[in-house]
Amino acid sequence: MTRRLGCAAFLLALLGTPLLLLLIVIAAQTTPRPAAPPIETVGQVSGIPARMLAAYQNAATRLPQQVPTCRGMRWPILAGIARIESNHATGHTISPGGDITPRILGPRLDGSGAGGNVTPFPDTDNGRFDGDTAYERAVGPFQFLPSTWNGAGRDANDDQITDPHNADDAALGAAVYLCGKGRDLGDRGQLKAAILQYNHSQAYVSDVLGWIDRYSQLSTGTIPIGQHATGNARTVIDAALAQEGVPYSWGGGNANGPSTGICCSPSGKSGTRIRGFDCSGLALYAYAQVGINLPRTAAAQAGAGRRIPASAGVGALKPGDLVFFAYNPTNDSTIHHVGIYLGNGKMINAPRPGTNVRTEALWDDGFAGGTRLL
């Protein structure tokens, strides 16, 4: 029996294997990479105000004009610095033009020990940036000393003013300062050296690198956006979501559902008369629905499964994981809050007295990673 070849098979047989290899190479080169999430999603998931995020991105884009020999600058590097220095100017107003009010000022560096300094820094700017005509203060979202700003400051919004209290100018100035005479910030060693120059503390370097790595996951699109829970994780999440609107009650909640609390608060918003959940009570209840018995407190729950450190970032979490917050994110004994991760940078939790069980974005402040039990 004669077997007929389809058109493609006949052509390949006629021209031979090299064409097949060529087609494979072309297909590999044209396969689209996963796109990074849009700026709105990055801002929501990362906790960075959109206007500050735009300033970081703008600085990374404009840097080659300022330091052509510098390589490897990315917005997560600037975001990591600003997260430690000012928490992205959180609590301040940022105008469309990038001006930050009220101004962000560090302690007076008068040698008294305020802010940890013992060496006085006499005034260099006649109070122009810090309002102090006797001693220096660190200024702006990147906490520049006025004397340092005089060399690193740049006009990034083309208003003919170089202002450390402007998000765009400050971000570009920080990028210039980190680059020095032309570092390769894609090299981990040179990146560490740049951060150490910014602040002479190894603990500071470690903190900043942790945030850079977390933000980098977003910049490359490796944080899964819009994840879907399945199996037991779906059961846990559905059980918790069914409790939305139930009041917070300190000590409330068990494997059977909401219960009255065990203590009170001066505000009267939590006490033995309120039937509901506290944060760990909600987690305990949700996991009981799949036969997992959790300890009662958030700190103890952190040790109940496979620990996911904060340094792994949000991208390491999966729906159904417990997510924790601590006074010191590197010390589990200081954990004070727990939620249940939903995916897409969100959690369901019982936040505090006077609130109800609700869904919200993961808190940036005190994020201490998660635990996986499923």
Chunked in runs of 10, what are the mean pLDDT values of the chain (374 residues)? 35 39 40 58 75 94 95 95 94 95 94 67 94 95 96 94 97 97 95 95 90 80 68 95 94 95 70 88 97 97 94 85 93 96 90 92 88 96
73 and 182, same structural domain? yes
| Residue 119 belongs to some domain of the structure | no
User: What does DSSP say about strands 259-260 and 275-276: parallel, antiparallel, or unpaired?
Assistant: antiparallel
pLDDT tens digits for 174-223?
Answer: 999 999 999 999 999 999 999 999 999 998 998 899 889 888 877 766 66
The answer to whether residues 252 and 314 belong to one domain is yes
Question: What range defines the domain where residue 301 resides?
Answer: 231-372
**Residues 193, 148 within the same domain:** yes
Question: Which strand (E) or helix (H) includes residue 138?
Answer: none
CA distance 260 to 370: 27
Instruction: Domain count for the chain, please give it.
Output: 2
Helices (DSSP H) in the chain: which residue ranges? Answer: 7-15, 17-30, 39-46, 50-66, 75-86, 146-152, 167-179, 188-198, 202-219, 231-241, 279-288, 298-301
Residues 72 and 198 in one domain: yes
Nearest-angstrom CA–CA distance, 333 and 197? 32
CA end-to-end span of the chain? 56
Question: Are 262 and 360 members of one domain?
Answer: yes
* Pair (66, 213) in one structural domain: yes
Number of neighbours of residue 178 by Cβ within 10 angstroms = 25
Q: Exposed, middle or buried, 296 (CB in 10 Å: 0-12/13-18/19+)?
A: middle
Over residues 18-53, the pLDDT tens digits come to: 444 333 333 444 444 445 666 666 766 677 898 999
